[in-house]
Amino acid sequence: EISLKYGADRLGKRTDDAMRKFRDNRLGAFIHWGLYAIPGGEWNGKVYNGAAEWLKSWAKVPADEWLKLMDQWNPEKFNAKAWAKMAKKMGVKYVKITTKHHEGFCLWPSKYSKYTVAQTPYKKDILGELVKAYNDEGIDVHFYFSVMDWSHPDYRYDIKSEEDAVAFNRFLEFTDNQLKELATRYPTVKDFWFDGTWDASIKKNGWWTAHVEQMLKDMLPGVTINSRLRADDYGKRHFDSNGHLMGDYESGYERRLPDPVKDLKVTRWDWEACMTVPENQWGYHKDWSLSYVKTPLEVLERIVHAVAMGGNMVVNFGPQADGDFRPEEKELADAIGKWMQKYGECIYGCDYAGWDKQSWGYYTRKGKDVYMVVFNPPYSKHLVIKTPKGTKVVKAALLDGKEVAVKETARNEYNVDMPAKDPEGPFVIKLQIEENA
């Protein structure tokens, strides 16, 4: 291994209570909310089908013109308590909120920027209202923070001169100040999810990324930090030049998931995926017909897929400029919530089971309990199970206790019957097993 000053500072998973809670939460929601919700993907009469929160870039809008949108920021339908109730009903255990996206607009009254809610007609501290409302519902709050800031004159994409270096150091100090401000104002925050860290300017300042992780952990013991913040001495991101994960969990699975057979390496570390409901819209876009919109069933399968491989899943919501959610997102939250109400036992606190994936769906595991989450019931009406060597299946039952027949068909192979009554949707069978039998 090569020696690194700014590489991984720990090998293996964190085992403290705060990380255990992060892991056990399993299901989260993303809130992408900023000035971009006002134009919703349209600029000067042209609708852009790229990600709506990147409209400033697609339409080549100068920062000062873009930030004039602040004069229209007045979400009269915004109700933090209603947002928290919606999250509670969906069964999410945490919510990641965009404190500041690439545009530089801050959802909190930062004293280090003039582009904040305080300088809009709304005036009030939206982030503070949301932190309180979610926490009051027992939901953890995580902060999304974009290091890249299109509003700041000292931001640099690369460091090519002494002037660049001096300006970017001012920018890093500004960023430190905003992060300290967030950690001080909102001490119940449990996680920082950094984004906008791919530019050469940051990769050439790996020291700073290690400093930020340590600074936040000193201020908020137990806080978790995503791998996307980190760059090592040589600019390697997420995993250092020795292949060790930096930060507390891998955060590279954005709109994609590891393969349940070929990518089992991810089960060796903590990781969290995040997903959009349309093909690629994080912020509010007025026209979802421009791309495929995943059904609640397709969102649910991605949630189960992540947990089955020992990861978390964060489902994205892009609230409207008026502070309400679009009908499709309300319907999604309701559908997922109904399923979690009935079957959440196979998600919360669950992990990778270590059994060979079968075509009918996914396994999750919690201690001695192994769950079968069935998405694709076979024509044979038998769900084939292959157990690891020395593991026997003693009993199989639906979560309401009703048993289903299990027949051994070969060494470490079983047929589990489908329930007598068609469950009409993905369902769960809980297995009682004996290991080292």
Chain positions contacting ligand H76, by CB under 6 A: 32, 51, 53-54, 195, 254, 274, 282
Residue 51 or 373: the one with the smaller Cβ distance to ligand H76 is 51
Would you give the distance in Å from CA 84 to the centre of its chain?
17
Least CB distance to ligand H76 at residue 404 (A): 40
Least CB distance to ligand H76 at residue 153 (A): 22
Task: Give which of 372, 404, 389 is closest to 364, Cα–Cα.
Answer: 372
Alpha-carbon span 220 to 211, nearest angstrom: 14
Alpha-carbon span 293 to 307, nearest angstrom: 22
Residue 53 or 149: the one with the smaller Cβ distance to ligand H76 is 53
Kind plus residue range of the DSSP H or E element containing 271 = strand 271-275
Least CB distance to ligand H76 at residue 53 (A): 5
Residue 316 or 391: the one with the smaller Cβ distance to ligand H76 is 316
Residue 56 or 430: the one with the smaller Cβ distance to ligand H76 is 56
Least CB distance to ligand H76 at residue 372 (A): 32
Q: In what order do the strands lie in the sheet with 392-398?
A: 361-366, 369-374, 427-434, 392-398
Residue in the shown chain whose Cβ atom is closest to ligand H76: 282
Alpha-carbon span 230 to 29, nearest angstrom: 23
DSSP, residue by residue, 46-101: EE--S-GGGHHHHTT--HHHHGGGGGG---TT--HHHHHHHHHHHT-SEEEEEEE-
Residues 234 and 222 sit within 8 Å (Cβ to Cβ): no
Least CB distance to ligand H76 at residue 234 (A): 23
Least CB distance to ligand H76 at residue 58 (A): 12
Using the structure block, give the residue that is written with the tokens 């509003």.
Answer: 151
Residue 142 or 244: the one with the smaller Cβ distance to ligand H76 is 142
Residue 53 or 270: the one with the smaller Cβ distance to ligand H76 is 53
